Amino acid sequence: MPMLYLNVRHTLPMIGIRTQRNTLDASISQPRYTQETQQARSNRGATQPRLSIDTYPSRHSYGYTNHTDFARENLQRGLSGVQKGTSKHTQMAWALAEDGPKSGRQVGIEFAKRDMESIAKKQRVLVAQAIPDPEIHFDTGEAVGEPTVGRTTPHWDTEGQARIHFNRGSIETYLQQRGDIRRWVSEGKYDIRA
């Protein structure tokens, strides 16, 4: 009778461990920076120099007259000329009325002769006077304007506390493999492959 062999195979139980570490997230909010800026400006400029030359007084002295001065200067002369003309025509009318019909009188020719004699007897006067210099005015250029001062106003936006987030760690054990004992009987030899 063949010999009986007891075969035993066993596996040990295995315990698995899952771990999760503690984590601490303590992030800091970075400060935010903004600023208000006003650029500096010179706002400066210069006025142009100005040269003005008034030559009218010198031109007026030798006869160049504008309309205003011409009207003012000749107003009186015109009025007196009108009065003289009116008087002359009135005298001529009376002379023609009274002496015109008389024989041998030529009233028109007598008046014309009298006018010519009065023109010829007028005394001519030459006046030598200095011609005034032109009036010259010069205004220098000036720096004008007020500068604007530049400025920068900073603004920092910060949070008073850090953001902290804590994750609690954990440990978990579990049965990864169960323990087992198997037994069987073989004849004639050990069954090492089973």
Mean pLDDT computed over 12-40: 88
Helix (H, G, I), strand (E, B) or coil at 11: strand
Q: 93-132: per-residue pLDDT in tens?
A: 777 777 766 677 777 777 788 888 887 787 777 777 788 8
Give the torsion through C-alpha atoms of 140, 141, 145, 149, to 10 deg. -110
Q: 46-66: per-residue pLDDT in tens?
A: 888 999 998 888 888 877 888
Q: What is the pLDDT of residue 19?
A: 92
Residue 188's pLDDT band (cuts 50, 70, 90): confident
Q: Which of the two residues, 72 and 152, has the higher pLDDT score? A: 152
